[in-house]
Every structure is written in C-alpha cells, then in structure tokens.
Amino acid sequence: MFMRKRVLSVSIICMLAAVTAVAQVSFVLQVPPTGVLQKNQLWNMALVYSGNASTSVIIQMMLMDARNGQPVMTAASRPILLTKGTTVIGAKDVAPVEYNYLSSLFNADRDPNGFLPAGDFKACYTVLQNAHNGVVQAEDCIPVEVQPLSPPQLNSPADTSTVATAYPQFSWLPPTPVNLFSNLNYEMILVEVLPDQGPYEAIQQNMPVYNISHLNDPVNMYPASGKPLDTGKVYAWRVLALNDDQFIAQSEVWTFKLAQPPPKALVVPGGNYMPMRAGNERSAGVHVLTCDTIGIKFYSFEKDHPAVVNFYSADGKLVRTVTETIVYGDNYLAYVLNKSFDKGKVYRIEISDTRKNTYTASFTLTTTK
C-alpha cells in the first residue's frame, strides 16, 4: 500500500511538472485580421515566457481555408531563444522561413515577402519547446480575411445612362492589387428593376434576365441569343469578383435603359422627289401627286441651319408649316398631306435659306386622304 501511494504521488508530481512546463510560454497574436496582407505579417506576435532559465522554441504556423478547414499553407520558424518576460516577434526574428504551399491560390505569388491571396482564412500557431523534443508550449488561432484595396469598378454602360443598342457591351475594372489573385474571374448579373424597386433591391430579389459566371476578362457583350431587352424597362447590373470559386468582392449596382428606336423615315412611293427651284415656280410647272405623300429635294450651299417649310393654297393662304434642319448638300424631305389639302386644287410649297433666297414648287392632288 505504501508503494502504491508513492508511485501515485510521483505520477501526480510528473503531471504537475508537465502542466507547469506547458504553462511557461503563452503568446499574443498581432496579425491584422483583415485587409491586404503580406506573408511576413503573419509572424507579428508577442511571446511571454515565465521560466527562469532561457529556452529555445520553434513556431509552427498553418493557414487554413476558413470555409472547409483545408490547409493551404504551412511554415515553421527557425529556433528562437526566449528569456523570462515578453519577447516581441516579427518576420526578421523567425527568418529564414520555409513555406509549404498546399493550394493553387498561391500560384500568383510565392515570394516569401509577397502578398497572401485574397480570401477568408484561419491562421493557427503552435509553439514547440525545441529543447524538450517538440513539447507543445502554446497553441492559438486567429481569423485572417484578405481583401482587395478596391472591388470591381463598373465602367460601361454608365450609371442611369440610356443605351442605343439592344445588345450593350458591359465593362469594368478589376479589383486591386491584381497579384492577390491566382485565378481571378467574374460573375455578372443583370435584372429588371420593377417600378416600385430600387436597384439594390432588384438585384437581391428579382430573377436574373442574364447571369454569366467564370468570366476571365472584365468585359462581356449581351448575347444575341439572350432575352430581348425592352425599351420600356430599367435594368440593373452588378459584377462579383472571385478567386477560383471563392467570393472576394462585388461592385456597386448600376442601372441603364434602352433608347427608343428612331422613327422610320417616311418613304415617298416610287422615290419621286420634287426639286425646289429658285424664282418663279410657274416655270417648273405643277407636279401631280397620285398619293397623299409628297417629297421634295433641296440642295443647300450653306452650313447646317434650321428652316421653315410653308405650304400655301393658290390664293396665298398658309395651310401648313413645318420646321426642319437643313444640312449642307442634298436634303430629301417627305410629308404626309392631311385633310387640309383638297383634291384638284393647286398648292405651293416654299422654303427660304438664311440669305432670304426662296425656293418653291407647286403640286396638285388627284386623290385625297
């Protein structure tokens, strides 16, 4: 019985000694939790040693993907000599460090002094007492979120702009700095904005009109095979940046709408345009119209300018006035004659240039509208 008690007492003493040894070292991590980070910033910490005799330790670090816990990088410091009290540790104190890369995320930058890739990680540290066959002295983990300095910046179509084409080209600027990414790619989302919605609400709630992912270039054209965009609607779009399949950042939400298509040009049946002549129009005779559409041809020697086209009855009464923009060179103008023009009567059409020169032509209708 005495021997059993003695063995038990020795075991308890050994356990207390082991606990005391473990408790001799603790540390405070000083790694920035978010932002653009370099690998050497992972070694910012303070080690607190309570032992009386100096000791040598090694710091092991493992960087893991915060989503699935998979290691993406490991590293270990050189032996570090601790004396009683607090020792502030930095990159120069642990160098040289051998990094072991376990993920393609680091393909863009494997420089020991380079940047960490963008993403959400967890950095876990273990302090091993080198003099005692790698006895664990302390362990701790800290979240590390590497974010770009700027998210994707939308470029075109401009916010709240009106787009002339039904197949607009979308472009944006990449997030920076680009060397944070080993496989930078994008997802673009386009939705319709309902009358009672804001752009951000529409992006979050509405079914996409167009959604494409794994874009390698910061540009994309709306496909001809896509759902036709409507001129009477407002559309919102946003771009997401990813590194491999890990979300990194997203752009603002911009809106645009399609311009109304220009009205179809009025076509004169048969392509017959009456020439406008200077001076007495009687010398040109009276043109006979067999339909309610009249076309006139007018050559201008002046720079572009507004002008008034007047229609007169045979007794000089003004029947109709139209304002036009006259350009240098040939001008082809067409008009539909309304019920103000009667069958069988003669009318005169008149236009003046900026020098008060008058050009005229006469016509009569053989049919009415």
What does DSSP assign to residue 150? B
Contact 177, 115 (CB under 8 A): yes
Place of tokens 């090694």: 58
For position 7, what pLDDT does the model report?
37
For position 27, what pLDDT does the model report?
87
215 forms beta bridges with 186
Whole-angstrom distance, CA of residue 274 vs CA of residue 295: 6
What band does 15 get if pLDDT is binned at 50, 70 and 90?
A: very low
Write down the mean pLDDT value for the chain: 87
First to last CA, the chain: 128
For position 346, what pLDDT does the model report?
93
Q: Work out the average pLDDT over 306-312.
A: 94
% residues pLDDT > 70 (the chain):
90
For position 30, what pLDDT does the model report?
87
Residue 201 has pLDDT above 90, yes or no: yes
Q: Output 235 or 369, whichever has higher pLDDT.
A: 235
For position 272, what pLDDT does the model report?
85
For position 77, what pLDDT does the model report?
93
Which amino acid is located at 159 in the chain?
D
Residue 20 has pLDDT above 80, yes or no: no
For position 151, what pLDDT does the model report?
93
| Listed residue (59, 129, 139) closest to 94, CA to CA | 59
What band does 244 get if pLDDT is binned at 50, 70 and 90?
A: confident
% residues pLDDT > 90 (the chain):
56
For position 205, what pLDDT does the model report?
95
The DSSP annotation for 217-246 comes to SSEEEPPTTSPPPPTT-EEEEEEEEEETTE
Residue 283 has pLDDT above 60, yes or no: no
For position 354, what pLDDT does the model report?
86
Q: Work out the average pLDDT over 119-129.
A: 92
For position 199, what pLDDT does the model report?
96
For position 203, what pLDDT does the model report?
97
What band does 83 get if pLDDT is binned at 50, 70 and 90?
A: very high
For position 76, what pLDDT does the model report?
93
Give the best-scoring range by mean pLDDT among 121-125, 144-148, 283-287: 121-125
Q: Work out the average pLDDT over 52-72.
A: 92
Q: Output 1 or 348, whichever has higher pLDDT.
A: 348
What band does 264 get if pLDDT is binned at 50, 70 and 90?
A: confident
For position 180, what pLDDT does the model report?
87
Whole-angstrom distance, CA of residue 323 vs CA of residue 305: 11
What band does 6 get if pLDDT is binned at 50, 70 and 90?
A: very low
**Domains of the chain, first to last:** 18-146 (2.60.40.10), 153-258 (2.60.40.10), 269-365 (2.60.40.1930)
Q: Out of 109-118, 266-275, 293-302, which region has the weakest mean confidence (pLDDT)?
A: 266-275
What band does 17 get if pLDDT is binned at 50, 70 and 90?
A: very low
| Cβ-based neighbours of 179, under 8 Å, separated by 6 or more | 108, 109, 114, 115
Q: Work out the average pLDDT over 170-179.
A: 92
Q: CB burial class (10 A; 0-12, 13-18, 19+) of residue 355?
A: exposed
